[in-house]
């Protein structure tokens, strides 16, 4: 449990470091991106998309063994 807490704190700190750092935020804002690709397990991407007022596209890269590639085939048959 301590490892999970430590990982969560690390991720929250890195997200805060990005969001409160004006230089990369200004660069991202001026780049006129159309969308942010983000992993739904880590909410910083969604927060950044909301801040920049652009859509977020979620992909789940954490599914092992490429099971995500086959799930659509089973849903359509």
CA-to-CA distance for 36 and 43, rounded, in angstroms? 12
Q: Is the pTM of this model over 0.85?
A: no
pLDDT at 42: 81
Burial class (CB in 10 A: 0-12, 13-18, 19+), 36: buried
Q: From the DSSP assignment, how many helices (H) and strands (E) are in the chain?
A: 4, 2
- The answer to whether the Cα torsion of 22, 28, 30, 34 is positive or negative is negative
Residues ≥6 apart with Cβ < 8 Å to 19:
25, 44, 47, 48, 51
pLDDT in tens, 59-75: 876 566 555 555 555 55
pLDDT per position in the chain (77 positions), as tens? 888 888 889 888 999 999 999 999 999 999 999 999 988 888 899 999 999 999 999 887 656 655 555 555 555 55
């Amino acid at each position: 449990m301590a490892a999970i807490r430590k990982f969560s704190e690390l991720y929250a700190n890195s997200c805060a470091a990005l969001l409160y750092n004006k230089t990369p935020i200004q660069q991202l804002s001026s780049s006129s991106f159309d969308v942010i690709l983000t992993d739904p397990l880590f909410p910083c991407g969604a927060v950044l998309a909301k801040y920049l007022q652009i859509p977020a596209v979620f992909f789940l890269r954490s599914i092992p063994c490429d099971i995500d590639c086959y799930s659509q085939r089973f849903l359509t048959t």
